[in-house]
Structure 1
Amino acid sequence: MNADAGSENAVQPYGDDFVTHRVDRAKDLIVTQSRLRGLLRANRMVASDLSLSVVLTRIVEAACDLVDARYGALGVIAHDQHLEQFIHVGFDESMVRRIGDLPRGKGILGLLIREPYPLRLDDITTDRRADGFPPGHPPMHSFLGVPIRIGTKVFGNLYLTDKQNASRFTAEDEELVQALAASAGVAIENARLFEESQRRQRWLQASADITRHLLAEGPNPLELIARRAQEVADADFSAVLLPRSSPEELIVQVATGEYPDGLVGTVVPASDPLAGRSGPLMVIPLIASGESVGALVLGRRTDGRLFTDADIDMASGFAGHIALALELAQARADRDRIAVLEERDRIARDLHDHVIQRIFATAIGLQGLAAQTEATNQQSERLASYIDDLDETIGQIRTTIFQLRRRGRHNLPSLRGQLLDIVDDATASLGFTPHLRFEGAVDSTVSDVVGEHLVAVLREALSNVARHARATQVHVTVWSTDGEVRVDVIDNGIGGVDPDGRKHSSGLANMRSRAEELGGRFSVFSPAGAGTRLSWSARTRVPDQDA
Structure 2
Amino acid sequence: MSQPADPAAAPAACPVAVSERDRDAVLHAVSSAVLAVTRHLSVREVLQVIVRSAARLLDAKYAALGVPDDDGAFAEFVAEGISDEQWKAIGPTPRQHGMLGAMLREGAPVRLADIRKDPRFEWWPKAHPILKDFLGVPIMDGGTVLGIIFLSNKRTPGGFDDADEELLTLFAAHAAIAITNARLYERGRELTVIEERTRMARELHDAVSQKLFSLRLTARAAAALARTDPERAAETIDRVERMAGEALTELRAVIVELRPPELDRHGLVDSLRKQVALLDRLHPMKVAFTVEGEPPGDRDSAPDSAPDRARDLAPEIEVAVLRVAQEALHNAVRHARAARIDVRLAHEEAGLVLEVSDDGAGFDSSGPDGAGVHGLGLPSMSDRAQAVGGRLSVSSAPGRGTTVRLEVPA
TM-score by length of 2: 0.45
Which structure would you say has the larger RCO, counting Cα contacts within 8 Å and 6 or more residues apart? Answer: 2
TM-score by length of 1: 0.34
Larger radius of gyration: 1
